[in-house]
Amino acid sequence: MSFELVIKSAKIATSSGTREGNLLVKDGRIAAVAAAGVDTAGIVAREVVDASGLYALPGMVDLHVHIGEPGKEDKEDATTGTKAAAAGGVTTITVMPNCVPPVNSRTGVLARADLFKSKSYVDFALLGGAGGESLDHIVEQAEAGVVGYKSYVGSYREDRRGLLCQGNGDIYDVLRKVSSTDRFIGYHCEDSAVIRRRTRELLDAGRVDFTAYHESRPEFTEVLATLPLMEIAGATGARLYLVHISCARIVELAEIWRNGGADITIETCPHYLIFTDEDTARLGPYAEVAPPLRPAYEVEALWEALARGGIDVIATDHAPGTPDEKAKGMKNIFEGGGGLPELEVAWPLMLDQVNQGRTSLEDLAFLMAENPARVAGIYPQKGSLEPGSDADIVLVDLHAPHVMSEKSMYTKNQDSARIFDGMKVTGRVEKVFQRGRLISERGRVVMDRPTGAQWVRPV
Ligand SMILES: [Zn+2]
């Protein structure tokens, strides 16, 4: 039998364990997984990759990616953002709807799909926008092919038109509508009413320094925002997805609603597991995320929650900020903006945590690939290394020392990666394959131009 690609002698890591073997790829899919010791002499392949000493994992399925195009190309455009994904071993990105104009209707979904089909370097899925003002457009976005929705409880911005819930009435209406689609809905969880008051008090006291940022958004403001969401999700049967959770208390509380039958999924990001409020005190806008980085004890508690199985997904919340936003934040932290560009560093950051004994490759395969694909309804096409799945594969050297460098990144705003710059980790992505084709090698994209990224929709 002949194949396009054979990856030989890899240690294949999935949620069910790690075994040495060969991955055989045909028509862009995994055709077979041959155990080590099986005679491969008779196999004909166009390309053979010797992966001795390397681990093969499913490519990351990232449920939380901000790419500004259209409308916010100064932060990240479809070319720079998806090249970053290809370089980093993120083979399926799920693109957030808060571009300008935001995606909040069927026509918006189809236009965004066309944009990414022509420009993306990796396969992509789309999130729709849901809010009190887009109720009549929720179902049509599912029919058009979104894997889920994003919604905000907070203040209006141009990129949140149709994505906002004003109070519990809106949340109730939105969750009822979403529950009829069987898609998940992600919410940003921070109580803006309390945060506004605290920010006002700090500003009145002349506080614009870096630490004032976390003082304005303490843990309880995040916990508070999740409570009505969890209760209303339980009452409506909607699939609630709590994005970028930084507090272990939310994981504990979610247990109560989950035990009562609510469908709640919890996401966290590498930065909440690795950095602390001391990094924000040091780097200000270059370590400014919302919710903010937490004290070390909270990071510890989050790892414990992860070890107990209370966290379901690791996503990047990739969101570079512009030099202008960072410069403003240096003067007044409340005027800073943007987040962290994490597509190119998520694997090395987490591989390093495996080396530190905090987690395992099997858990990463589950949290970064398999389970997000399940949440999005695109498993086992994505997130799996079983026969029949798309051959989206990352080969990693778990033991290679690696120094992260912002200058080598594809993200449009390299400067906003300052927190990672010069950071020494152990663990490196060696090769990335999309549907059996090599797309990057050691952080360098090997394609001259995008060649037919696929729009991934729930089956
Ligand atoms: Zn986000």
| 338 CA distance to ligand 1 middle (Å) | 10
| 192 CA distance to ligand 1 middle (Å) | 16
| 163 CA distance to ligand 1 middle (Å) | 13
Q: How does pLDDT run across 7-64, given as a tens digit for each residue?
A: 999 999 999 999 999 999 999 999 999 887 777 777 889 999 999 999 999 999 999 9
Q: How does pLDDT run across 164-174, given as a tens digit for each residue?
A: 999 999 999 99
Q: Determine the pLDDT at residue 287.
A: 97
pLDDT at 142 over 90: yes
At residue 406, φ and ψ (nearest 5 deg) are: -65, -30
| 228 CA distance to ligand 1 middle (Å) | 20
Q: How does pLDDT run across 329-343, given as a tens digit for each residue?
A: 999 999 998 899 999
Q: How far is Cα 198 from Cα 218, in angstroms, rounded to an integer?
A: 10
Query: What H or E segment, with its residue span, contains residue 13?
Result: strand 2-14
Q: Give the residue among 62, 64, 49 at the shortest CA–CA distance from 91.
A: 62
152 CB contacts (<8 Å, ≥6 apart)?
A: 131, 160, 163, 164, 165, 187, 188
| 66 CA distance to ligand 1 middle (Å) | 6
| 98 CA distance to ligand 1 middle (Å) | 9
| 401 CA distance to ligand 1 middle (Å) | 30
Q: Give the residue among 202, 309, 212 at the shortest CA–CA distance from 258.
A: 309
CATH 3.20.20.140 location in the chain: 59-376
| 319 CA distance to ligand 1 middle (Å) | 7
Write down the architecture of domain 59-376 according to CATH. Answer: Alpha-Beta Barrel (3.20)
At residue 18, φ and ψ (nearest 5 deg) are: -120, 130
> Is the CA virtual torsion 231, 232, 238, 241 positive or negative?
negative
Q: Which residues surround ligand 1, an ion (CB under 5 A)?
A: 317
User: 397: which 2 tokens?
Assistant: 């050297």
Q: Determine the pLDDT at residue 417.
A: 97
Q: What angle do CA 194, 196, 197 make, to 5 degrees?
A: 65
| 188 CA distance to ligand 1 middle (Å) | 7
| 127 CA distance to ligand 1 middle (Å) | 12
Q: What is the pTM for the complete model shown? A: 0.98
Residue 348's pLDDT band, with cuts at 50, 70 and 90, is very high
Q: Determine the pLDDT at residue 42.
A: 77
Q: Determine the pLDDT at residue 272.
A: 98
Query: What H or E segment, with its residue span, contains residue 8?
Result: strand 2-14
CATH 2.30.40.10 location in the chain: 2-56+390-445
CATH of 2-56+390-445, one of 3.40.50.300, 1.10.620.20, 2.30.40.10, 3.40.1280.10: 2.30.40.10
Beta strands in 197-329 (DSSP E): 239-242, 263-268, 313-314
| 342 CA distance to ligand 1 middle (Å) | 12
